[in-house]
Amino acid sequence: MAAAEEGLFGTDGVRGTANKHPMTAEMALRLGAAAGRFFRRDGASGHRVVIGKDTRLSGYMFENALTAGFASTGMNVLLLGPVPTPAVGMLTISMRADVGVMISASHNPHHDNGIKFFGPDGFKLSDEAEAEIGRLVREGVEPVRAENIGRARRIDDGRFRYGERLKATLPAGQTLAGLKVVIDCANGAAHRTAPEVLWELGAEVIPVGVSPDGFNINQKCGSTDTTLAAETVVAHGADVGICLDGDADRVMIIDESGHVADGDQIMALFAARMARQGRLKGGALVATVMSNLGLERHLEGLGLRLERTRVGDRYVVERMRAGGFNLGGEQSGHIVMTDYATTGDGLLAGLQFLSAMVDSGRRASELTRCFETVPQLLKNVRYRDGQQPLEAAAVRRAIAAAEQRLQGNGRLLIRKSGTEPLVRVMAESEDETLLAEVVGELVAEIEAVV
């Protein structure tokens, strides 16, 4: 099995279909044991891990398997139950844990699941740390003696601790009284926390996607399908809608007319606001190669910079930490504000947006249309395990030809997803006819190969 375990970690931990390699109970146990050994090198007692999860049915299986793996290496396990991913990062620090684990496949459907690791500083692990844990999985880990096995304990107030931290990010005394807010929790990890926090801050709350059954996470709701939330905003005459994904580390904002704003528009608002307040460190926003060219032009007009990274919020955070920046994120809705959190936090970003509405007295529609986007087209091509469509000579020739056609009139980005067996074909150009032709031809070429 060792060969199959090469490249175990993707761009956001280990992810796949539940009960199918690598997302099996056996692998979760081995991952727990390997991570336990990695973070408990000194062999001393008292080491601990916090484990959170979203609302997928398979979360029970992986929670138990990880607990067994960690306990077998002498780690004490603190079980948070369903909490947002950023809560795990926060509680790893506040509970003085050596490692944090989130069991979630984020925005993916219920049949997928994943395992993400956080270090004692609350940040996601580096490639080097993940590679070392992968090596320990392959080679196996010696369990501790019977008297040194770790204990497990339920922590019932984790979401309340997280909620209090979130509320503290707003200015002292500021309330959301007078705002009618639709909150879509994607039937996921924030289905209780998000409505509670908004209500406690004074908002009139209209919750949707708050009835998880183990199967309906991200199903026709949440940040990846905003139709229900947009319809609810309009039907109830709400001021704004906040759409989270299954583990609540992403957000989309819906204005009072039902128009959806993605991460680029939200980041543009936050960057300008923080710069005016003298709080934007380094005069820059960190985002990925997927962010719209219009965002880059908008920031330049404000005298700010856009620092681009490869796709993945962990790479955004790595660049932020290396450069001393405090705002970053992805077009998909990961918004990272390291003044408050160690990873993308959809509910935190939603609260900061509501705070901007209160401060400015402006409507959501006025705050979410910061710049004109350059036309962008993204299409996905699914391939089977083991296939390498981007290595095919015909595909490489088609990519080279597409880049030549777009030269001076746009840009092209083609990459494999780090979380699903997909090739993502994205292009930007102000010539929409050219844009459609280039993407369509490339997708057809890749489909022919797979």
CB 242 within 8 A of CB 264: no
Which is nearest to 312 in space by CA: 296, 288, 348, 342? 288
The yes-or-no answer on residue 106 being catalytic is yes
Of the residues 104, 106, 223, 332, only one is catalytic, namely 106
Whether the Cβ atoms of residue 344 and residue 323 lie closer than 8 Å to each other: no
**Distance of alpha carbon 137 from its chain centroid, rounded?**
25
Query: Which among 164, 190, 182, 176 is positioned nearest to 244, based on CA atoms?
Result: 190
Return the C-alpha torsion angle 271, 107, 99, 14, nearest 10: -120
Residue 138: its H or E element: helix 127-139
Alpha helices in 302-363 (DSSP H): 313-323, 346-360
Residue 371 DSSP symbol = S
Q: Enumerate residues 6+ apart whose C-beta is below 8 A from 414.
A: 390, 399, 423, 424, 425, 426, 442
For the chain, give the number of residues: 450
> E strands of 180-239, at which residues?
180-184, 204-208
Annotated catalytic sites, by residue? 106
